[in-house]
Amino acid sequence: MDHSNPINRLTAELRAFRDERDWAQFHSPRNLAASVSIEAAELLEIFQWSDIEPPFDSETQARLRDEIADVAIYLLLLSDRVDVDLVDAVEQKIAKNRQRFKPSN
């Protein structure tokens, strides 16, 4: 694995963190997908009943940073667990979207 790639480095670090705590047993694809959804809901909760826009106060910015990180962590772990190259998947999806959604000009 190329650890110079930030995604690979983060994934390896997350695997090590997980393995040091013997949490792999809880990381089924279903549980990881549920965790992505739960953390995304916690991210959305920051905006619930509010129309706040950037720039955010320092407390809101810190909460956003933590929840975005939580979503990313579970997404990286899920991608690793189901053997999906996240960068390749995103690049392919962008290409599909370019074909599907043509520019409006």
- On whether the CB atoms of residues 9 and 3 are closer than 8 A, the answer is yes
CATH of 26-100, picked from 3.40.50.620, 3.40.50.20, 1.10.287.1080, 3.30.70.20, is 1.10.287.1080
- The answer to whether the CB of 14 falls within 8 A of the CB of 73 is yes
Give the integer Cα–Cα distance in Å for 11 and 76: 6
CB 45, CB 37: distance < 8 Å: no
| Cα–Cα distance for residue pair 11/80, rounded to 1 Å | 7
pLDDT attached to residue 3: 67
End-to-end CA distance of the chain: 42
Give residue 1's pLDDT band: very low, low, confident or very high (50, 70, 90). low
Sorted by where each begins, the domain ranges of the chain are 26-100
- pTM of the predicted model as reported, rounded to 2 decimal places: 0.91
49-96 tens-digit pLDDT: 999 999 999 999 999 999 999 999 999 999 999 999 999 999 999 999
**Residue 4, pLDDT above cutoff 90:** no
